[in-house]
Amino acid sequence: MEAGEIGGALLFVLAAAAALAVAVSTGAVDFSRALTVGGRLDFQDTISWFIAVFDGSSSSEGGVSPADVYELWVRVRGGVIAPVLQVAVWACMVMSVMLVVEALYNCVVSLGVKVVGWRPEWRFKWEPIPGDDDEEKGTAAHYPTVLVQIPMYNELEVYKLSIGAVCELNWPKDRIIVQVLDDSTDPYTKNLVELECENWASKGMNIKYTTRSSRKGFKAGALKKGMEYDYAKQCEYVTIFDADFQPEKDFLLRTVPFLMHNPEVALVQARWAFVNDTESMLTRVQKMFFDYHFKVEQEAGSATFSFFSFNGTAGVWRTAAIKDAGGWKDRTTVEDMDLAVRATLKGWKFIYAGDIRVKSELPSTYKAYCRQQFRWSCGGAHLFRQVAKDILAAKDVSILKKFHMLYSFFFMRRVVAPTVTCILYNIILPISVMIPELFIPIWGIAYIPMVLTVVTAIRHPKNLHILPFWILFENVMTIHRMRAALAGLFELSEFNEWVVTKKVGNNFEDNEVPLLQKTRKRLRDRVNFREIVFAAFLFFCASYNLVFHGKTSYYFNLYLQGLAFVFLGLNFTGTCTWCQ
């Protein structure tokens, strides 16, 4: 058990204690309210009422009056619906407290890392490769052999960017092998990619163009196939870049030394940067999401437990670690996370180098982003189902790291976070305006969201003007993430779907192709009906609350949520220059 793990555990306990102390001292937390709400629903009386209705004796006029119907609604509402929802409310409250403690812990660790200026070099040895200021003049023997894999699938818009950037990396030409793994099904695209590889080969680059007869295993299958070649087995390290990633020339010079001088380290993960983060409101809020992931979650995991998820690209692996972990597997749609977990269970450590950034592209359409998030959320939840027992049984991992992996990494981020936010804010809260017997603590729907918002804003001070849009956008995305989490946990029909995120390459710079394509599409392709249905539901609840105030006044918030669902339902997320 290392000092970082002990420190991380203590910080987690302190975060939980601080949250509880503040809640108790302010009187915000009060679980004394009974779960039994509303009037008592007498089953015999209800049956008698139905008999009277069908006998025609429920009213003096011999028919069913509106008062009779309302009376039944009040009985069912108070005796059945409200108690069931009350249990759901308290379950959501418990999960919300767990969520805010987790967020506070990660925020404290990441802020501590920033304040003290912590760098991976403080914990892991790093020395420049002799002669790395000019690798052509340096001794080639000092450089290990590196394999760079670029998996592709119909990447017409970006294939030149990634291949060109990789082939220009500062590394001796006889010590680097570029492997383009092309699974494209479009003959035209495949021909262009192959010609690009031949072009670089003619310049003296050791580049291999490989294809497969089928897409079995998708990206994991392609990476696994690429590692089976003899030249790949001879490489000490392997770097992976997705087709839209463009590393800086010194990427290998800054990452590989970590692996050379620290034999216990399996992975060095770099941070993503984005070339189109200001092109639309959609890309702006996406950047906030990814910045939180890298600045908070990745930094906290790296600084305390030396564990975090491999992001699938912009990372350097030790070939021996991949082999020791069992190689690439296609049992989930998050092959990167799967490999990271298996390597950790074998005792390997990871390094997150946040100061090394690799340019990439954000999804430019709402549907593309939804597909990407669905694949990640579903795959993460499905992997949790598969590896939970393995984590518990692992012998080379400390108890604290097991707790971090099972509770923080999987349960909180892959299950609790998408579930509680969707159920509480998109379902229970709107319905509560029609169920006056339902009690929702103000601290659960006001204080906790406020704390989570502050935690997010602390690491994004330059994006405060985008924060309201990010909140509304993330609220919409919860329905997709919760559906994905449930599909992964219970292996529903969509749990193993893989849809490649569409790229636009340089088109967003010269505007030759707009971010939102102006092509003829069917109505179901132009309109997201799930979002429209949710918007109608929220507008109905908001209007009901506006007319019949009762004890709550949520209509303003519900109207805003409904508008967000409408805009995204109609794909109003294209280019936006007014906020630049």
Active-site residue set: 183, 336
3-state secondary structure of 19: helix
Phi, psi of 267, deg, nearest 5? -140, 140
Q: 39 vs 31, 81, 121, CA distance in Å?
A: 20, 11, 64
Q: What angle do CA 423, 523, 377 make, to 5 degrees?
A: 35
- How is residue 212 annotated by DSSP? -
- How is residue 78 annotated by DSSP? I
Q: What angle do CA 114, 119, 121 make, to 5 degrees?
A: 170
Nearest-angstrom CA–CA distance, 75 and 181: 64
DSSP-assigned beta bridge partners for residue 524: none
3-state secondary structure of 527: coil
b/e per residue, 508-531, with b = 16+ CB within 10 A?
beeeeeebbeeeeeeeeeeebebb
Q: Give the relative orientation of helices 187-201 and 159-167 as an angle to the nearest 10 degrees.
A: 20
Tell how far CA 291 is from the center of its chain.
11
List of residues 6+ apart from 354 with CB closer than 8 A: 271, 294, 295, 298, 299
Asked if 412 and 363 touch (Cβ cutoff 8 Å), the reply is: no
- How is residue 129 annotated by DSSP? P
Nearest-angstrom CA–CA distance, 166 and 178: 8
- Cα four-point dihedral sign 168, 174, 175, 180: positive
3-state secondary structure of 397: coil
Show the tokens assigned to 548. Answer: 């019949």
Nearest-angstrom CA–CA distance, 372 and 502: 10
Q: What angle do CA 510, 511, 516 make, to 5 degrees?
A: 150
Q: How many CB atoms lie within 10 A of CB 129?
A: 18
List of residues 6+ apart from 376 with CB closer than 8 A: 333, 334, 484
Asked if 296 and 107 touch (Cβ cutoff 8 Å), the reply is: yes
Nearest-angstrom CA–CA distance, 268 and 252: 10
Helix ranges (H only) for 1-42 are: 3-25
Tell me the chain's radius of gyration from C-alpha atoms.
Answer: 27
Count of positions (residues) in the chain = 580
Nearest-angstrom CA–CA distance, 129 and 495: 44
- How is residue 495 annotated by DSSP? T
